[in-house]
Amino acid sequence: MSKVWFITGTSTGFGRQFVQQLLQAGEKVVATARKLEAIQDFKELAPDRVHLAALDVTNKEQIQSAVQEAVDVFGKIDIVVNNAGYGLFGMLEEYTDEQIRTQFDVNVFGVLNVIQATLPIFKRQGSGHYVNFSSFFGTWSMPPYSLYSASKFAVEGFSEAFAQEFAPFGIKTTIVEPSVYATEFFGEGMQHTDKKQEYAPLYEAYEKGMSNLKVGDPAKAVQLIISVINSGNSPLRLPVGSQAAYTIREAYSKRLEEVNTWFERAAEAD
């Protein structure tokens, strides 16, 4: 029996790959985007198994409407993929108040808005699965992604907690942590600050480091995520890509090493 997937941000990148691969696999999909004209081609793939809905994750009314449409059309929602989000590029001092607030409105509160709208359905069904997109930057941080990273740290934090809160209702949670992939993240999806000259050395170091990174294929990433979600044995956190697995392991190892180094001194404060 096919499952019903509710996916945000399907016009490009991972979201578009999800819709294409799921429809090819015979699943049912509620594909959402801020501009419906950007996803009209999905109707050609499987007109009877895809429903298109306009959805801006910062607009609660639109979210409620899209969720209700999903239930009206397919009768249920099995999996919610909180994919919508974007990157903010710059040094902390360079961000404007508006850039900071918008980053959190979309990447953090947008995810919470969708969860709040769909949770009653999952509880009523006694089943459901949240797939929340974080990033390998959700486990460690570096210039020039301090605010983007902070938004993904937030997603990691509340997802880890509500995974335990929702589990008694038959609801699963998976946090997806991709590395660098060939999506719009580094293109039109990225917002930039006005650079200050004094940070030029940090920007140069970043560019040098990025030149050595392996850019992954989003189709392979989504194929992996879908297979893990459908396996019935999905983890709480799923690194996606060798770069993600390596850097996350390294970050945790360094953190554990530091905790061990300062453990006895920390205990003196008891």
pLDDT at 214: 77
Q: Is 148 a catalytic residue?
A: yes
Catalytic pick from 152, 159, 172, 234? 152
DSSP 105: I
Query: For residue 55, which of 19, 20, 8 has the smallest C-alpha distance?
Result: 8
* pTM of structure: 0.95
How much of the chain exceeds pLDDT 70, in percent?
Answer: 97
DSSP string, 205-269: HHHHHHTTSPPB-HHHHHHHHHHHHHTT---SEEEESHHHHHHHHHHHHHHHHHHHHTHHHHHTT
Q: CA 142, CA 98: separation in Å to the nearest integer? A: 21
The structure tokens listed for 47 are 């007109």
Count Cβ atoms within 10 A of the Cβ of residue 141 and give its class: 0-12 exposed, 13-18 middle, 19 or more buried.
Answer: middle
- Identify the domain containing residue 8 by its residue range: 4-241
Pairing of strands 190-192, 87-89: parallel
pLDDT digits (tens, 9 = 90+) for 8-55: 999 999 999 999 999 999 999 999 999 999 999 999 999 999 999 999
Q: What is the 3-state secondary structure (H, E, C) of 138-183?
A: HCCCCCCEHHHHHHHHHHHHHHHHHHHHHHHHCEEEEEEEECCECC
pLDDT at 191: 82
pLDDT at 260: 98
Answer yes or no: is pLDDT of 236 > 80. Answer: yes
Looking at per-residue pLDDT, the higher value among 184 and 212 belongs to 212
Q: In 3-state terms, what secondary structure has residue 96?
A: coil
Q: Is 152 a catalytic residue?
A: yes
Mean pLDDT along residues 261-266 = 97
pLDDT digits (tens, 9 = 90+) for 79-116: 999 999 999 999 999 999 999 999 999 999 999 999 99
Omega before 144 cis (within 30°)?
A: yes
For residue 260, is it within any domain?
no
CA distances from 206 to 32, 221, 230, 245 (A): 34, 24, 37, 20
Report CA Rg, the chain: 19
For residue 67, is it within any domain?
yes
Helix axes 218-230, 13-24, angle to 10 degrees: 60
How much of the chain exceeds pLDDT 90, in percent?
Answer: 90
Q: Is 76 a catalytic residue?
A: no
> At a CB cut-off of 8 Å and minimum separation 6, what does 42 contact?
10, 19, 20, 23, 29, 31, 50, 52
For residue 270, is it within any domain?
no
Confidence of residue 215 (pLDDT cuts 50, 70, 90): confident
Domain count, the chain: 1
pLDDT at 140: 95
pLDDT digits (tens, 9 = 90+) for 150-171: 999 999 999 999 999 999 999 9
For residue 254, is it within any domain?
no
Catalytic pick from 130, 148, 181, 199? 148
Q: CA 232, CA 223: separation in Å to the nearest integer? A: 15
Answer yes or no: is pLDDT of 186 > 70. Answer: no
Answer yes or no: is pLDDT of 188 > 70. Answer: no
Amino acid at 221: A
> At a CB cut-off of 8 Å and minimum separation 6, what does 175 contact?
132, 134, 138, 155, 156, 159, 160, 236, 237, 238
For residue 249, is it within any domain?
no
The structure tokens listed for 126 are 């006694």
Mean pLDDT along residues 113-127 = 98
For residue 262, is it within any domain?
no
The CATH number given to whatever domain includes residue 115 is 3.40.50.720
Catalytic pick from 134, 149, 151, 159? 134
For residue 97, is it within any domain?
yes
For residue 149, is it within any domain?
yes
What are 120's strand-pairing partners?
Answer: none
